[in-house]
Structure formats: C-alpha cells, structure tokens
A and B are shown apart, each in its own frame.
Chain A
Amino acid sequence: MATDSIAAPKRPFRSHILVFLAPAVLVYTAVMIFPLISTLYQSFFSKDWAFIGFGNFVTLFTDPRLSASFWNALGNNFWFFIIHMVVQNPIGILLAALLSNPKLRLRGFYRTVFFVPTLLSFVIVGFVWKLILSPTWGVTQGLLKSVGLGALFQPWLGKEEYALTTLALISNWQFIGIPMMLIYAALLSIPDEVIEAAECDGITGWAQFWKIQLPLVLPAIGIVSILTFVGNFNAFDLVYAAQGAQPGPNFSTDLLGTLLYRTFFGYQLQLGDRALGSTIAAVMFLIILTGVCIYLFGVQTRLRRYQF
C-alpha cells in the first residue's frame, strides 16, 4: 500500500497502550489462559502427580468403557451440531430475512421476542421445556390431542431415540436469536443502491434473496457457523439442567461436556478423576481448535468480501 513506501516517522513507544490493555490481559490470563494451560499440563500426569506422558490419552482411547463413552459422547456432539446447522441457522437466516423486509410492521417487537430466550438461563430453559414436554403435567399432549394428533405424542426426553434431538431442538429454540441478529445486522449493512440496482435488473423477491443478499451475508453465516461449532462442542449446561450428569436415557444425551464433568468431578458414588478429566478437556480443546483452524484457513480465506 501507499503508506508503506513512505518511511513513517519514528514515534515514541506509547506505554499507555500497555496500561489500557493490562486489565483485560490480566483478567483473561487469570481466568482463561492459566486454567487452560494448567489443564493441558495436568493431562500428562497421573492422579498422584507422577508424569506419565501420554498415558492418560492412551487410557482414554484404549480402555473399552472409557473409549466407548468418549466415542458415544463425540457422536452425540456431532449430531447436536448437525441439528443446529440444519435447523437453527437456516431458520435464523430466514427470520433475519423476514425482519429486514422494510414492509414488515412491529419489527422491533418480533426481533425482541425471538431474541428473549437467548437471555434466559439454561436452568430455566431446561426446566420449562421439561415441564412443557412432561407426559404427566405438560401441555404438549393436550395441544396435540386438540388438533387430533394425540397419537404422535411421546415422552420424547425419556426415549433413547428422540432425547438428543429433542434437546438439540430446545437449544435451537433458545439460541435462534444469535444467528438471527448477526445476519440481520449483515443484511442491514447491504446498501440500498445494490438492492435498487437489482430491482432495476428485474431481480426481486426470493431471487433477490438468493442472488444478492445471501452471497453478501456469507461471511456472517461463516461466523455464525463457527460460533455454533464452538458453542456446541462446549455444550454442557442444557443437558446437565435437563438430564443430570449421567445423561439418560442410557447415555443417549451424553455430550463431551457432561462426560468431562462426570469424570472430573465425579457423580453420585463415582469419585472424581482429575487426571482423566483433564485429558478429556484437552481432547475437547484439540477438537475445537482443529475445527476452528479448518474454518479459519480453509473457509474464511476463500470467502469473498465486497466493499461498498
């Protein structure tokens, strides 16, 4: 660029930058970086602090029970993620597209309503949905019956084949506001001139959405996807609130987060195992790191950005 060719005048070191950065750096180091490094460090030691190299990792992947739990949790995690990508994000984009329609009235109201569940605590969401879906007290069965679909009702959270999908859909309901807001903001930043030019060329309605708006919000969709990925592979709270730390039925809703919790802190009569817990945490970190790297180097660099 042009500025590079002119030798910049040497400026004195601006120490106030350090002062302003210090609080964030210190707090972040204390509550994030230090625990992360100490967890990784701990995963190379046995329970009695003897260095065992990759011993814990070998145990995790070779012990028949532990590795079965791990692969089960990982598989569940992928399903959880897929549901989010297939249901939550497309609906989020759709809602954003509807909201950005200038003819829509009560836009602020809808925007708030869709976003409110995101602000609720996991505990409330888990509890409320458990009650809604409860075969004993829940309203779901009555609602379905009133429209003649009573036969469709199942105790979804208690059935091995449905429980995880149900939880994923509850999580979608809760977090639909995040993709909606991010994409809504991206849609609003598309200049009117582009839209008007499209209209002059006869591109309106859905064609306009597919050909103009969607390509322009792709970077935002990329961000949403990676946020979903990181959030899902760290997910723990909703499952813990709804199903406990030995997530039933028959571990069908066990995610890496709950497996980590159960292993690290113990549960009921199961005693906690700091070493193996740290190992699972380290593996989770590696999985997320890999996913984020694939996105950053494989996807984001290829996304085309448009300057207006």
Chain B
Amino acid sequence: MTFQKTLMLASATAALLAGAGSAFAADVTLTIESWRTDDLSVWQDKIIPAFEAANPGIKVVFSPTAPTEYNAALNAKLDGGSAGDIITCRPFDASLELFNKGHLAPLTDLPGMDNFSAVAKAAWSTDDAATTFCVPMGAVIHGFFYNKDAFAKVGIAAPPATVEEFFADLEKIKADGTYIPLAMGTNDQWEAATMGYNNIGPNYWHGEEGRLALIAGTQKLTDEPWVAPYRQLAKWKPYLGDGFEAQTYSDSQNLFTLGKAAIYPTGSWEIAGFEANATFPMGVFAPPVEKAGDTCYISDHTDIGIGMNAKSANPDAAKKFLSWVASPEFGGIFANALPGFFALGNTPVAMQDPLAQEFVSWRDKCKSSIRSTYAILSRGTPNLENETWNASVQVIKGAETPEAAGARLQAGLDSWYHPAAM
C-alpha cells in the first residue's frame, strides 16, 4: 500500500468516525439507579418507551439493585463516581444524607415541582423545607381490606365508618364464627406498628397537625392523641386469630386471601398481590373515625422519589427526564402500571383499578399525612420507628398499658431529641 492510499484511507476512516460520533452524540443515555427490581418490566415496557417517544435523542436505562443491597451499593457507587444519572430516593433521612454529602442535586426549581404539595415533598426536602432534592414519585395509603362475602354472610351492610361500628362489626364476625375477624399477627412486629398504630393513628392525632406538633415538641407521645390509638389497638386482641403471637406477615396475608379472615388492616401496596390470589370480592375502607361526621385523616405515606446525581454528565437530559416524571402524564402511567402505588401530584390521575380508585378517593374526603415516626424522629437512638414496633406489640398483647407505652416512647425520644420549642 502506498503512503497516499494509507493517508486517504485514514482520512476516510476519520471522517466516518467523526460522522458517526456526531450522530451518536445527540443520543444521551441516562441510567436510573433503583431498588425496585420488581418493577423492571413496568419501566422497560411502559414508562421508558413513553418518555423516549416524547423525547427523541435521550435513551433511558433502568438498572435496579436488590432492595436490601441498594443503599450500600448506591453509596459505594456515588463515592466512586460510577453511579447512574438518575437516583431513586428512599424517603427521609437516607436521601437527606446523600443530599448533604453533595451526591444529590437540588431540584427546588425543577419545572413541574409545583405539581406537588408540601406533604408530598416533605420526604425529600431539607428540614426547613427550603430545598427539595427528589421528585416525589409514589405513595402508599393505609386502610382496611375486607372480604365482601364475609360481610354479607354475617349481615354487615356497609363497611364501618366509626370506631363504634368497627367494633360492632368485629363482634358480629366473631359471634358468627366462620371467619377470623382481624387478620394480623404480632410475630413480625412491624405489622402492629405500621398497619395498626400508624394506620388508625392519624384520626386521633389529626394527621399533619399532630405529627408536626410532635416534631416541634409541643405535643408528646404521652398526650391523649398519641395514647388513644394504643387504647384502640389493645381492644383488637380478642378479634385476632388463635396464636396471633406467632403469626407472621405472610400468614396474615394468606389468611385473608384464602378467605379465612374477614378484615385485614394494611395498605394499598397489597392490591396487586391480593387481586391475583383472592377468589372472593374485596372492598376497602378507611380507618374509622371517632364520631360520625368527624374529619378523617389517612396515612398517605410517601415511599418513592427520584432525583439527580449531582455529578451526572448529562444534567440537562436528566432534568428533562425528571420534569417528565413530575408531570401528570407519568403519574397516570405509574399509578396504572403499579396499582397501590399512587402518584403524588396534585393533578388527579385516572386509574382503572377499582380498589386503587377507592383508596385514592379518600384523598378528597380526608386529610393526608405520613407515618408519624418516619421523619426526623427516627434519626437517633433509640429510634422511634423500631421502638413503636415493640410498643404496639406489647400493647396488643396486653403486656403493657397504652399509657406506659406512651411514657416509655417519650422517655426514649427525650434521651436524644430536643426540639427548640420545648
């Protein structure tokens, strides 16, 4: 080969490469870090194609890690600089810590952020609410599932609206004897706290009002609104199944889906699994209020958010994607693909699933709050969430009085938490 030919070939190759390079340069690839391995197909088949169709030139790759490994793996990747552009955010302190370390970019001014209420953003904002660093993506709502066949059999016309009706219905189911009135066990502990205490509690402490007062230090866990839910829990004991002390979460789920239990206190995340397994018609009702006509409060717990790696190489594309996630369009796709995980935007989202519709309709009638123990109060040791697990179980078993439980939790909180208002 002569020198000239080589030169020509080389320049041709260079030109080709340069052309190809510029063509590809338009295509930016964004990688999403997530712990939702279960949702891989939803992202690949529904969410990402919808975004890519509307935004040519941006490719998105969903790359989840197992939930238990996510936090550790993400921290290591962020420290090593190899993390993806988009980070799925755990609620509260885990993400706040990432933001404080400079790993998550502030997104307060992101277009679309004003679609979300302050409650929705609270899980991914600094304590003073000045900066938000993740787009709220999904929430789960607490409530009670019930077996419609069971209610018909024992002659309950409508699901209970007040606490009094609730216990009257439980009594009827117990007297009938066919069904276990309430499917809940105390073996795994978190059931009693999450699906018991934090499910019925907001009606007593008036949702955000009480939660924020507790954080501000103007209310204490020994106050009536915080002890009253324990009083109700203590009354649940006679309606739980035999041997509830050793009944696990999956036992409870199975008892309900096999049609052996009438009522199951839980949250909207069960919808997909229950609809796949239960052979009877199901309904849901919100936590009963004290007196008919009282304002109802629900636990509408913010669970998933999505943010941007501060060191992303493609910040513009990433912001474009996050703005889209903040839009009602994404909310509709997300809420329908994953019934039970509700979009958090202010714009109502049309959902096909009747149970999901019922859950989300409570947002109009009731006031939303989040689990009282998640924000700020579980930052120290002893940690209020884990302590509440134990206290709820002890109260249900009758091993501790509601008042003693409240006093013990407050003493634990006082040992490390000193709000300025005190």
Residues of A within 8 A of B (CB): 65-66, 130, 133-137, 141, 153-160, 243-244, 246, 248-251, 267-271, 273
Contact = CB atoms under 8 A, between A and B. Distances in A.
B401 interface: no
A58 B389 CA distance: 28
A136 B241 contact: yes
B190 A268 contact: yes
B412 A65 contact: yes
Contact of B390 (A135, A250, A269, A273): A250
27 contacts: A65-B382, A65-B412, A134-B246, A134-B247, A135-B241, A135-B242, A136-B251, A141-B243, A155-B245, A155-B247, A157-B187, A157-B245, A158-B187, A159-B245, A159-B246, A160-B399, A246-B189, A249-B245, A249-B393, A250-B399, A268-B385, A268-B386, A269-B386, A270-B381, A270-B385, A271-B93, A271-B379
A135 B254 CA distance: 13
A270 B386 contact: yes
Residue among A153, A158, A159, A273 with max Cβ neighbours from chain B (10 Å): A158
Interface string B348-388: 00000000000000000000000001100011011111100
A130 B246 CA distance: 9
A155 B241 CA distance: 11
Nearest to B185: A158
Given A135-B244, A248-B188, A250-B390, 6 more contacts: A136-B241, A155-B243, A158-B246, A248-B393, A268-B383, A269-B384
Contacts of B384: 269
B147 interface: no
B386 A267 contact: yes
Given A136-B255, A160-B399, A246-B390, A269 B373 contact: yes
A235 to B, nearest CB: 20
A155 B386 contact: no
Interface string B85-120: 000000001000000000000000000000000000
A158 B186 contact: yes
A155 B251 CA distance: 13
Nearest to B242: A135
A26 to B, nearest CB: 26
B268 interface: no
Contacts of A159: 245-246
Contacts of A270: 378, 381, 383, 385-386
B336 interface: no
Interface in B298-350: none
- List the 6 closest pairs (A to B, CB-CB), nearest first: A135-B243, A158-B245, A158-B246, A155-B246, A155-B243, A269-B378
A136 B186 contact: no
Interface of B: 93, 185-190, 241-248, 251, 254-255, 373-374, 378-379, 381-386, 389-390, 393-394, 397, 399, 412, 415
Nearest to A160: B399
A267 B251 CA distance: 22
A251 B382 CA distance: 14
B251 A137 contact: yes
Given A158-B187, A268-B385, A269-B374, A248 B244 contact: no
Contact of B385 (A153, A155, A269): A269
Given A135-B243, A136-B255, A249 B386 contact: no
Contacts of A66: 381
B163 to A, nearest CB: 27
Contact of A135 (B246, B374, B381, B397): B246
Contacts of B390: 246, 248, 250-251
Contacts of A136: 241, 243, 247, 251, 254-255
Nearest to B389: A246
A246 B187 CA distance: 11
A157 B385 CA distance: 23
B186 to A, nearest CB: 6
Contacts of B93: 269, 271
A154 B244 CA distance: 10
A244 B393 contact: no
A133 to B, nearest CB: 7
